[in-house]
Every structure is written in structure tokens, then in C-alpha cells.
Structure 1
Amino acid sequence: MILTDLQIEGFRRFASPVRLDGLGPGLNVLSAPNEAGKSTLLAALKAVLMVRSSSKAKPVKDLQPYGGGAPHVAVSFTWKGMDCHLEKQFISKAFTRLILGSERFEGDQAEEALRNLLGLEEASKGEAAGLWSALLVGQGESFVQPDLNQTGQDSLRSCLEHGVDHATGGAAASAVLSRVRDRLHLLQTAKSGQPTGKYKQALEQEAQAQACLQDLQNRRTALEEDLAALDQARRALREQEDPERKAQDEAELLALRQLRDKLRVADAEEQAARAALATVTHTRNSICDEQERRQERRETQRKLEREAAEMQHDLQAVMQRTAQARQRYEESRTQREQAEQQQQAARQALLAVSRRVTVLQQRAALDRSRQTLHRAEAACTRLEQARAVLAALQVDEALIRRVRKAVREQDAAQAALNARATRLTVTLQPEAAGRVLLDGAACPQGEMVLTQAADVQVEGIGQFRITPAVKDYDEALAAADTARQQLQSVLHSAGCLSAEDAETLFEERRQAETRVAEARAAFVASLPTARDERDATFFEALATLRQDLSDQVAALEREQAAFEQDCQSSGLAGAPGGRAAQTATETVRSPEAESGVQTEQTEATLQAVQQKARLEEERAARIADEARQTERTEQAAYNAAQNLQDKAETALRQKQTERDQVGRELAVSAARESDDALAARAAETAQAQAQAEAHVQALKAGRETEQPLSVVETRIMRREQALENARASIARLREEIKERETRVRVAEGDGLDEKIAEAGRTASRLKLGCEGYERERAALALLDQTLSDAEKTQTERYLAPLVRTLQPAFSTVFPGASLEMDTGFGLCGLTRRTAEEFGKLSDGTREQIAVLVRLGFAELLHARQSPAILVLDDALSFSDSQRLELMFDVLADAATRFQILVLTCRAEAFGRLGGRPLSLRPIPQITERR
């Protein structure tokens, strides 16, 4: 079976029709990125081959595109040389169409023919079951071995029996086993073995009969319990309603209440005595506390007086140290002020020298500005002269172009006229010179161009008139005259007599323009403030230079006047740096400095003077900093001493305040009650306390023989609760007797014994039927187990061909490995150096084995001449490069016998696989076969 075409529409992400191009025999590879639709293609192929078009199950509905629609699939293939076509549409307007060569099937007939062709059987929800489910390997399914259902296993057994001796009787045994299982499945389910069918119905009927019998027996038991409870309730009611018992209980309750009242009076007397004792005790304790407080205050007063005296002595010493620190601080402040005055004088001297240096620098800048202005004015004068010369020359570029154009036009007109004229060639003998005249003049020798009529006179011979036979003579002559007139007009406007004069004047103008450009460049170079190339900007910059020069002159005069005033008003000669300032002043006022003859020497002298003044100012600053540091140190010491003095004074005042406070408290206490009165009151309180304690002890001794009040109150509450419970019990018993009498009368009229006997006979009959079904089920289960064991033994015999089919591929990927298959046609172990369980192998190895097992199933179908293809969707994801190459070799070899489709998103890794490259191509609509 070879797929040749696959078209889908309305399948998940493919809402529009697409076609899988490039399908053919052998190995076919579709390399596409994630979410390109590879898994959708496989789902469509599974649906068209294994799902009925009429199915409405949820997996079929999940095939719809996101916007809804009817999934539509068409697949073309070849089978035994026939061209076949299968087409299905699901959900909406569902149909199935199958073409096998010349045969055509529709609807259910097409579904049946397809199942017969592929060896499939009907399963649940319209989906077919068989070996093909193991050959169409979806994404993620390649990691596990195929889980074959019964139909798939039967297909494999059929393939294996085709190659072994028919004497095994495998087909007949399978048929008997199938019939036994069909009969057994009428009594129990196939998967869980739970009862079903008639057996389940019989069990349910027996359970209902047993439940009915049990219900009747429960009702009879309840009736017996009601009769016994009714008799007991009547006896209890008679006991509760006994009048003698009630009178006795009320008398006991009254006696207890009288005893409680007596105990309450005694308890109140005892509490009053205890309260009086507590009051007297509290008063005595207060008096004792007051006496103790007065004693403590006297001791505290004496202690505070001693401490205050000691602190007064310490304060005197601290005040003496503070005075010494203050004196040192005043001396350091005076030294700091003197140092700052000297520093200020040195700074003034440095400022004076710096200002004079500034005057000299401004004077040098003024000289440079004057030179710059002089150069700019000279360049401006040269520029104006060059522009005046240029303005006098009128022959510019445009005018010379007009002159040249007129000359070219005149030469062209004359050349055209000469081209049409008659040519005269004259050759005279020496003796004939002067005897031949042309238009009254001596005739020249050589070739001449005659554009007009000419008269030739030969002395002694006669006169000849030559009229040129010029075609269009008048027009050519007029054109030549016009060109000549135009040239004369242009030359006249230029003030030139000839074209050569015009060229000469134009060359002079070009030279003048060059001189103007040079003068302008020199002018621009002399202007440091020019911003752009406009003439107005240049002259504005020149005016700015003049104004800046005036400003610099005024600034220099102001600075020099200020310097003279500072030198006259400041007495700097005696201060540090004063001699440097005086030297600077003399240097500036010297004739050389004023005349600018020795500016550089003057500046060097001033710089030396300025450096000396700066050194003196720095020395004075260091002395001032040292004085300030000394002042800060002495001030910190003085502040520390002052803080100590303040703290000592504060502590002394606090001690004195505490002493005075204690004295005032003692005075207030004595004024309120003297010590003698307080002692007398303490003695009286002690005597009253002793009397109160004796009274409390007497009351306590009198109550020791009496019952506690709490016990009596508890007994009263218990008696009252018992009476209340008795009244409630009487009401409850009367209601209970009434209800039970009603139930007994109803039950006695139902005939329970007759119903129980009838229900027992029905339950026994149904139980016998269930036991018959159970014996039949056990016999069938035993027969099924016996036949299954026989089939297993037979299967183990023909597993050898399956192992032989799988062994070459396994030997390629796992050299030297041997296989172990179970009866469910799964690989349960792999033996290389040692036996290895399948579940303990790595993920990559298990995936490779699962693919090889599916490849072996396809080989079996192909060997049986049954339709077989293998489709792998994103398989071999965990294979290393070496194993992947070996798997490629196995797939390529198998593809020579049947068709293999590989769908992958790993284009680089599967590029070495080779095979037919496939692609997805949109199409207008699915092509229908008629």
C-alpha cells in the first residue's frame, strides 16, 4: 500500500484546504517547524482510515477547526497495482466514499470494505480497532511500546500462523476460545469480571427478595421491642406518679431550704467579723508604714547633707580649673586675631600685585587688539580697491558667452556662404604681375572664394565678369549679414571693437575676481569674530573690533586708576608683602612699562613679585590657621571645664533640693500628727486587732460542726432538678405509651408472619437460580482459562517468527543483542552482556525499541501481503547522533519494502535521513474523484 496523495480541509488549524505534496514509495520526510500542522496531518490520516464518518464522539468533534466546520479528508493510494481513493467528511453532511480500482463504495458499504481491506474491527464510539493503531505513531506515543487490543493481537497471530505449520490448529482453538468468551461475557464483563446479563438480573432479584424478607423480619423485631418497651414504660409511669414518694421528696427539700437560711445568717456574721479584722489590720499596717517612712526620711536627710558638703568642696576645685582654662582661651583668641590681621594685610598686598599684573595683561591685550584692527582695516581697504577695479570691468561670464556665441554664429554663416560660393584659382607669370586686376585691384595669386560678382581685367586683353552660380545665395548672404550685425551689437554693448578685445577684458575681469577673493579671504582671516560669509557680517565684525578696542582702553584706564587709588589709600609698606606691592607699583610706573619697550621683562618682574607676595600670604595663612587651631583647642578645653562646672553646680543644686524636700516632708508629717500621738494610736490599733482576731476564731469554731453552705445549696439544686425531671419523665412516658400502643395496633393488623413465610419461599427460589448461573459461569471461566493457557503455549511457539522478523533491525541498532517477547507481543527484555528489563532502560533506548517493534509489525503485515505503512510523528527525540544514524539505516532499509512517513520539526538532525521531501501546499479545494 502506497499513499500518493493526502488532502484535508476543516481540520483543526487547517480551516482552508491543503495538500501534502511529494508522496511516493519508500521513505517520505516532512520537515516543518512546531505548530506547522504535522500532528494534524497524522490525526486526519487516523480519522480517514479508522473512524466512521457518522461518528459524533467527542474525539471527532475535537477535529473541527477553531471557527467550526466539517472536517474533510481525501487520501489516494495504490494497492496491488490498483489506484484507490478514500474520502470522508465528518459531523456536517457526513459521507464516506471508497474507490478500489473499478469498484466504488458509498456509506456503510465503504466503511465495511475499508475495514476488510485493512483488517480492522469495530470498536467503541465509531472507531476501528486493529494493528493499524500501532503503525500510526502520534507525537509522544513513540516512547512506549504499542498497547495492542484483542483485534491487534489476533491480526498478529494471523500473520504468524500464515508462516507456520497449519497442524498447530491455532485458528480452530482461537475460534473455540472466542465462542467460550462470548458465552462467558453473557454472564460477566470482559474487563472486570463483574456479573452481567441474566446472571446480574438474577442476583439483583435475589438481593431484592432478601431485602424484602429482612425488612419484614425487622418489622416483627420492632413489634416485639415495642411490646416490651410498652410494659416497662407503664411500670415506670406508676412509679413516677406515686403520691407518698412525691410528699417525701418535698418534705426533704423544705428541710434543706431551712438549713440553708440558717447557714447564710452564720456566714454573714463571720464575714462581718472578718471585715472588721481586715479594717483594723489595715489601719495598724498604715501606722507602721508611716513610722518606717519617717525614720527613712531622717536617715536620707542626714545622708544628703553629707553629700552636699562634699560636692561643694569639689565645685570649688572645678571653678578654679575653669578660670585657668578661660585665661588660656582669651590669650589664644588674641594671638588668632593678630595672625588674621597679618594674613589680611598679606592678602591685600597680593591683591594689589595681582591687580597690577591684570593692568599689564590688559595693556598687552590692548596692543594685540590694535594690531588686529590695523590688519583688518588694511585688508578691508585692499578689498574695497579690488572690488572697485572689478566693477570697472564689464565683460563678465554671461557677456563673454554672448560674444562667443555671436562669433560662432558668424563663422557658421560665413562657412555656409563659402561652401556655396565659386572658387577662383589664379596662377600668373612673373611678367604679368600688375597687368591683371580683380575688381580694380591687383589680382592675387592662389585660390579665392567668390561670393559676389567679380570683374577681372587683363591689360591688352579685355575685361571678364564672373558671376557665382550660388544656390540660395540671397538667403546665405542675408544670414551672414545678420550674424555680423549681431556680433557688432554684442561687441558694442561690451564696449569692445573686436572679439579679441572682449576676451582680453574677460581675462582681466577673472584676474580681478581672483584678487577680490584673495583680499576677501585676508579680510576674513583678520576678523576673529566673523560668524558667516556675508559682507555685512564682516563689516559688523570690524565695527565690533573698533568698539572692543575702545572698551579695552576705557577698562584699562579704570583699572589703572583703581590701582593708583588702592596704592595711595592703603598703607602696605609695613605689612607682610608691602615691599612686594611697592616694587610692583614702581615697576608699573617705570617709563619702560608705560612705553611698552620692555613689556616682557616687566611682566617677568611682576610675576616674581606676585610669587613672593603669594608666598608671604601663604605663610601668614599658615600662621593664622595654627592660631585658630590653638584657639579651638583652648576653647574646647574651656568648654569642657565649663561643662564640668555646670554639671557640678547642677548636681549640688539637685542634692540641696532633695535635702530641702525631705525636710519639708518631715515637717508636714509632724504637723499632721506628732510622733508621740502616732505611737499611741499604734498601741490602740494593736489591741483592737487582737480582739477582732479572737472574735473571728470564736465564730469559726462554732461553725466547724455544721455542714458547708455550698454542699447544702448543691443538695437543694439536685432535689429541685430531680422533681423537675420527674415531671418531665411523666409527660414523656405518657407520650411514649401512646405512640407504642398505636404502632402495636397497626402491626397486629398487617399479618407479618404470613408475609415473612411468603418472602422466605421467594428468596430460596431465586437463590437456587443464582447458584445455577454461578456454576455455569465458573465452568465457562475454567474453560476460558484452560483454552487461554493452551493459546499462550501455542503463541509462545510462533513468537519465534516475530523475533526473527525483529532481530535484524535490533542487531543493527544494538549489536549482539537478543530479544525476549511476551505473549502480549511486547518486548519485555533485552539481553546484551546481561539480561535487562525494558522498564529500566533509558528513555532514548526505550523509544528506539518501541519504534523497532512497530517496524517489525509493519514487516509482518507486508510479508502477509496486507496493507502496511508506518507513520512517525516527532519520534527519536532522545537519540544521540550515533544511534540516530543507525535508526536512519534501519528506516531506509525498511522503506525499500513498504512506505514510511516521517514527520519532524528537527530539519537539521533529520537532513541525513534522505528520502522524499514533502511539503504542505494550500489548494483551492479538495479534488473529488468521480
Structure 2
Amino acid sequence: MKLRRLRVEQFCQFRQPLEIRGLEPGLNLFTGPNESGKTTLVRAIRAAFFERYRSSSVEDLQPWGDSAAAPSIELEFEWQGECWHLAKRFIRQKRCDLRKGDQSFDGEEAEDMLAGLLGYQFAGRGASKAEHWGIPGLLWIEQGTGQDIHTAVTHAGDHLKSALGQTLGEVASSAGDGMTALVQRERAILLTPSGKPTGDYARILQEHGQYRAKLEEIDTRIATYRQQVDRLGELQQLQRDDTARPWEHYRQQVRQTQARLAEVERWVLEQQREQRDLQHCQEMQQWCSDQLRHFARQQQECQQRDMARQQAAAALEEVQARQPQVQTVLCRAQATYQQAREALAQARQQEQHNTLVRELALLREELATTESAWQQAQELQSRLLAQRTQLQALHIDTRQLGQLQKLRQECSDLEIQRKAVATRLQFALEPSQRLQWGDEVLEGQGERLLLEPVSLSIEGMGVLHIQPGGEDVADLARRQQTRQDRFAAMLEKMGVADLAQAQERAQQCRSLQEEIRHNELRLHQCASKGVAELEQELQLQRQRLHLLEQQQTHASPVAIDCIGVAHAEAQSEAAREKLKAAEQAEADFRRDFSLAEQAWRNADAEWQRVERELQSAERQQREQQLHAQRLELQGMESALRASISHRQQEIDAANPELLRQDIERLSRTADGMEKIAQERAQECDRLQTSLEALGAQGLEEQRTSLLLEQQRVERRRDELSRRAAALNALLQLLQAKRQELVQRLQQPLQRHLDRYLQLMFPQASLRVDENLIPEQLVRTSHHREARDSFAMLSFGAREQMGLISRLAYADLLQEANRPTLIILDDALVHSDRQRLEPMKRILFDAARRHQILLFTCHPDKWHDLGVTAREMQSLRAGA
């Protein structure tokens, strides 16, 4: 949302029309002394949006003492590529007109459309209050409220959730009794139901208004003459200051900074060239080292080859000596193995007949057992199905139950540890003495528990910084809160209300599981592989019995007097192992002989090749050249590294990115100051011409006679006005509605907060609670982490964090495609110079995404913001 134009008339101190055009889409700076109208402009913007045009509770918008005035406000703003025009008039000839492109709206329809667009609501009756202002109340900071972020977020809760996709919760309230009816009757004597004066009150107001209008006409003419004289004096003083052309100082700084930036960019190019030379130098050194290592390896290789040749010859002779013994062992093993095979074949034929007889007997017994088990397994399977269904309904994870019990115990233990490790300070002071304990003054006797570091100020002596001993108490508190959150989350996940209910369900599950395990054990005893498998096994046993009976019918026993199968198999296996060992020994011998012979030939050939290469004259000359070249490259590398390091230090110290930002900021400041000087000169010429046309016309005498008559009427009007105002205020109090907001915002606000916070406190973070309200500032100092609650920060720090939070909310709303406008009325007045500089950068950065209207009575603090300031005196004189 971008505000383009603002016009007010008969509004508070602006009796004459005042119009502001050409508002920038980013930063807009308005300066002027106190009572110059800055806060009045902010009040006009608030009234244009927040106050019902038909409201009778906005008399404070009228110029003081002018009950006949009709305050009017006109706004033009842009949203989503469309131009919106809003015109509102209060108290008299009430109107509200809204144009959006080619569409027109009026009355409450226009007001409700604006409320839905910006995210606020109207008061049921009476003037709008902070609790109705919603999102604009969060983004528009009034004087002295920048630090109160908690209240603003609370009032904007419903609209934030609506804008950002959360659900709303409302609690309606109502009021009304006999007292309300009585007050309404008394009020009707002086005011109509819509709040307009009636009867004697209306008549006296009309008469007073006539006198006041005449007085104001004369006062306006007198005030205009005086204001123009004063303004001309101010402008002439400012013109004398402009003769020094202060903007040239900033332009000189721009030229100096540009020259400095050009020099730094030249350093960067030179550093890149040196880095390429360094890389080439390192590559050449690596190549030389590789060549020298290759030559050294050749010398070692020659010695190794000679030793390997001698060892290979000795190994070959040793292998040849084993040949006769290997052949003898192989022949004996072959004969023994053949005899063992014949004995095993005879034993197996007799064993097969005996086995068939035994299998038939065993199979008939197994068939009877299997049939009984199959019938029992079917019954147990049905019973288990019903029990498992019941267990599924009551199931609770015992591991999770154990974690739940452990978390409860850990929470209790941490609470005990936290209190146990805290340092206790006992004091007994004299009646006239006192100590400063942080923000608290200690007197008399007492005791304090140290849960975090604290400073103890002793008047006339100094400050004691006390660090609690033992474990980190703050860390224990965080650990305790973490476990409590996990305990609640686990209860919700398990679907139980408390630990007792979870234990009861677990006991029921254990009992049922014990019955299931008992039945499963019985089922497993009956059918270890399942009922279906048992039934299939039963069928297979019946088929196997039939087959064995057929084999017994057709087979006849073999009568052979032989050894047992096991003994025959053992003899056969032993013979086979001996034959296998003999064959393996003979194969090993052939392989060892071939390998030894080939190894000797290879070793001899390799030794002769390496020996010839080492004796080469060309190789020795090349080795000397490589040593010399490597020494030269090492010296070159050291020089390049030193030059690159020095150049990098110069570039880092210059900070080219910061130089570019300074050029932009200083250029915009110089242009703005020169433009203001030109506008002052033009305004001075206009005032001189106007004063020549004005002169004294006997206005003071006319004003005195009218004033006496007006004062008589005014006394009667004030009497009736006080009674009407008292009755009206009482009625509004009785009819006020209470609203209660229940909210939980869960959106990624931390990313936007960190973006701004890093510009002020690097490596710091501003933690927010579940309602997106700033809760804790975490900073790192001297490799230690410091945590400060938002409420314990200084007034200036809370004001800075409040502004950063509001800018983050604006970024969040912009991502949700909702309009944003930021108004800062004398914000950051409690910031010191060191903190104000990064806050300017933060505002400059935020202005790239949002329109910001900044009103201040300290223009000297904001002259380098990079924007042209608008002086309130110039705006009023131009009107």
C-alpha cells in the first residue's frame, strides 16, 4: 500500500486546508518543532480509517472552540495497481466516499471495505480505541508507545490470524440494565439519539457558533499576517545558513568515496592476477617434486630388484627338491579311496531296507498326533482372533509409557536441582544503608535467590558482579520447560488425559497380552508353522504313508554281512580326504614350481632394465635441473603469498560494499539539502509579496467587541456542554462491549526478525512466544551467550526491538498479500547515537518493501537518512 496524497481541512489546528502531495513509495521524513502539527497529521490518517463518519464522539477533531467546523480528510493511495480515493467529513454534513478505479462506494459500505482491506474494526459506539485498530494499530506507532509491542500484537491478533490464514475465536459480550435507560432519557433532553444537540443546547450552540465564526474570520486574518511575518524571519535566517552551501560538503565526501572505491576495485584486479600466478607456481612445484620422487624411487627399485632376483633363485631350488615325495603319497591315496567306495555301497543297500521299516511305524504314530493337533489348533485360532481385536482397541505403547514416566520424573528432578544449585544472598543492612540489586533497592534484612547473574551496586564503593555458582540455573529452567512441553505433547499423542489413565490402559493391555501369549503358545505347540501349514502337513503325511506302504510291498531285504553305514562312510570320507590332500599337494607343487621359475625370470629381467636406466648421463643431468628449478619456484611462491595477504587486508579494511552504500546515501542527502534550499528561496519571495498586500485594518477593535458578546454565550454553552458530555460518556461506558481474543499464531516470523536484527547485533536473535510476541533477546559476547527477557531490556532497547518486530510483522503481512503502511511518530527518541546508526540502515532497508512515514522534532538526527525532509512550517505556509 502506497499513500500518494493527504489533505485535511478544519481539522484540529489545521483550520485552513493543508495538502501533501508526491509522497515517496519508500521513506518520507516530516520535521518540525513541537506543536507544529506532526501528530495532528497522524491523527488525521487514523481518523480517516478508524472513526465512523457518522460518529458523534469525534468532537476533538474540530479546531479548538469551533463547534461549527466540519473536519474533513482526503486520502489517495495505491494498492495492487489500483488507485483508491477516500474522502471523509465528520460532525456536519457527514459523508464517506470511496473510489476504487471506476467503482464508487459510500457510507458504511465504504468504511467496512477499508476495515476488511487493512485489518481493523470499528467501535460499536463512540470513538475508536486502541483495541479496535488491529493491524494498523500495530504498524502505526504513536508517540511514546514504540516499546509497548505486547499490547499492539494482542489487539491485532484476530486480524493477523485472518490475514495470515489462522482461525479466529470470538467471545461476545453484552451489557444493559435499567441504569442505561435512565441515562438515555436524561441525555435525550440535550442530545438526539444520533448525538446531535437539541432544544436549548442546540440554540445556544448556534448562537455561539455565529459569534465564533466572526471572531475566527478576524483572528484568521490577524494570525495569517503574524504567521507570515514569523515565517519570513525564519526563512531569512535559514537562507543565511544556505549561503554556506552545506550540501557541497556531502558531494565532496561522495567524490572522495568514489575515488576510494575505484582504488579498491583496482586492488581486487591486481589480487586476482597474483592469485593466478600463485596457482601456476604451485602447479610447477608439484610437477618438479613428482619428478624428483620418481628418480628416488628408481634408485630404491634397483636395490629391491637385485634382492628379489637372488631370493627367486633360492626358492626355485627348494621347490624342485619336493617332487619325489609328492608323487609317492598320491599313488597310495588313490588305491585306498577305491577300496572304501566299494564297502560303502554295500552298507547303504542294507541300511535303506531297515530305514523303510522304521519310517512306516513312526509315520503312523505322527499321523494320529497331527490329526489331534489340527483340531485343537482350529479352536485356538478362533479364540485368538477375538482377543487380538480387543487388544487393538486398548493398545498403548509401553515404550512411550516409559518415556512419559521418565519425563515426569525428570521434571521433578530438574525443579529440585534448580532450587538446590541457586546461590542465596542474605543481607542485614543498617537503617540508613541500602543496596541497589539490579532494578530493586534492598533495605533492612532479607534473602534473595540468585537464579541468574546480577549486579549489586554499593553507594560510594562501586558495583559487585555476582555470578551464581554450580550448574547454569537458566539452563536448568530451559531443560525443565522442554521436558514439560514434551510430557504434554506425548499425553496428546497417546490419547490419554494423564499418566494414571495411561498406566491403567497399559495394565489392561498386559493382562490381555498375557492371555494372548498363553493361547499363542498353545497354538504354537499345536501348529508351530500355522494351522494351514498343519493341515497341509496332515495331507502330506497321509500321502507319504501310502507311498511307503507301496515301497515295502515291492522291496525285499538284502542279506549282506557287512559293516555299518556310518563306519563305511567314515572310512570312505577319510580315504577321500587323504586323496584330496594328496592331489592338492601335487597341484600345489606344480603351481609353486611354475611360479618360482617365472618369478626368477621376471626378477632378473627387471633388475637388468633398472640398472641400465640408472647409469644414464641424461637422467643425472635432469635431476640436478629439477632441484634448482624447485628452489626458485619456492621463493616465488612465498613472495606471491605475502603480496596476496597484504592486498586482502587492504581490501577488507576498505569494505567496498559499504563504500557503495555510503555513495548512495551521501548523494541523496546532498540532493535533498540543495532542493530544500531552493524551495526556501521561492517561499521567501512569495511571503514578501503577500505581506506587502496586507496591512492593519482596525481588526483588533472589532475583535474586542465581538469577544465580549461571545463570552456571555460561551458560559451558558459550557454549562450545557459539560452536562451533555457527562451523560454521553456515562452512556458509552454502560454500553461498551468487552472482547476477548483467544489466539495462537504459528507463522515463520523469526526469519524476518533475524534479517533486521543482524544489522544491529550480529549473531543475535529475538525469540518470540507462541503468540508471535517478542519474548527474549539472545546475544553472544566474549564467546558466551547472554539471554535478556524483553521486559527487562532498557526503555530504548525495547523501543528498538519493538520497531524491528513491527517491520518483521509488515514483511509477514506483505508475503500474505496484505497492504502495509508504517507510520512512526517521534520513534526512537530514546536511542543513543551508536544504536541510531544501525536503526537508520534497518529503516532504509525496510523502505525498499514498505512505505514509511517518519515524523520527528529532531531533524539533525535524521539528515543522513538519504531522503529529503518535509518541514511542517513549509507545508503550512504553502497551504
The two structures have a TM-score, normalised by structure 2, of 0.33
Which structure has the bigger radius of gyration? 1
